[in-house]
Amino acid sequence: MGEFELIARHFTRKSRRALLGVGDDCALLQLRPGTQLAVSSDMLVAGRHFFDDVDPCSLGHKALAVNLSDLAACGARPLAFTLALSLPAVDDPWLSRFAAGLLALADTHDCELIGGDTTRGPLNICITVLGETEGGALLRSGAQVGDDVYVSGQLGDAHLALRALQGQLSLPEPLLTWARQRLERPEPRVALGLALRGVASAAIDLSDGLIGDLGHVLKASGVGATLHTGALEGRLGLLQQHEMSGQVPAGLEVLDAVLAGGDDYELAFTASPQVRAAVEQASARSATPVHRIGRIERQPGLRLVDPQGQSVDHRLRAFDHFA
């Protein structure tokens, strides 16, 4: 099967929003008046971001999810995306499942596939996502001294699934299945990002781990923060699952996983204590749980305190692809 047939079979659908979709030199898109374009690109590489034998349906989902998560962090509404795909060979069933996972998530967020590229080479997936904001985009640079620090959902579970799949940690079923779902099929917090516009002072999505990603917010905003270990430990979804199942995974380093696990694709954001009610409304409106985990301070850097208010010494680095 040729490249053009391949594209046609799996990825061409009727244009909806685009003036011109897949199949010309460019796609054409009309933005609504008064809006700005939000753009983000993410590249996923086999062996680095996913296992070679990952379910292609989950991979299609995740490849778009990590991009939509960037739009969520800016409070942008998804519009469209391009897909560039390097494949070692044409594997029709694989492509069919990949496209199914990708396009199902695209439909959920009304985000149209408008173009891209396919070539032969080591497996590599590069998606560029386009969204629109109507002023008041959520930036990393807006955190103010005194603001509350929040995270959405649960953290650390994806990292523990990864360690279990790598054989570094033993997780009993059904905990592994549950955590693996978090790793392989993250749900981008698009609705929360939209609901937080005009409420949050700064936001970022958590891909490399809370410490590193929140660190970007602190640096961009010229502030520091203190986080509460009690609130953080409660963020590990596995612990809640574990209480239900009655099984205790051995060697669970809860704080490590929550603080530096990565692959969470939750949002971390800051907001003035005066808008706590608005944050709760945004959480309810987007059906997304949010949790207060600390406070922004003048002193640069990130500090941890335990439930007794005692300083906790905990050194962790963000996961850095080139470190």
Residues of this chain that bind a second copy (CB under 8 A): 1-4, 6, 19-20, 23-31, 33, 36-49, 70-71, 73-74, 76, 80, 82-86, 90, 114-122, 124, 126, 128, 130-131, 133, 137, 139-141, 203-205, 220, 320-323
Q: What phi, psi does 103 have (nearest 5°)? A: -75, -25
DSSP string across 228-260: EHHHHHTT-HHHHHHHHHT---TT--HHHHHHH
- Return d(Cα 16, Cα 262) in angstroms, integer: 35
Residue whose token pair is 């694709």: 265
Shorter beta-carbon distance to a second copy: residue 41 or 274: 41
In whole angstroms, the minimum distance from the beta carbon of 250 to a second copy comes to 31
Shorter beta-carbon distance to a second copy: residue 133 or 226: 133
Shorter beta-carbon distance to a second copy: residue 315 or 321: 321
In whole angstroms, the minimum distance from the beta carbon of 244 to a second copy comes to 34
Closest of 304, 317, 87 to residue 215, by C-alpha: 317
In whole angstroms, the minimum distance from the beta carbon of 15 to a second copy comes to 13
H/E/C letters for each residue in 70-91? Answer: HHHHHCCEEEEEEEEEEECCCC
In whole angstroms, the minimum distance from the beta carbon of 119 to a second copy comes to 5
Shorter beta-carbon distance to a second copy: residue 285 or 317: 317
Amino acid at 95: L
The token pair at 236 is 């590990």
Shorter beta-carbon distance to a second copy: residue 204 or 236: 204
Judge whether 193 and 73 are in contact, CB under 8 Å: yes
In whole angstroms, the minimum distance from the beta carbon of 167 to a second copy comes to 22
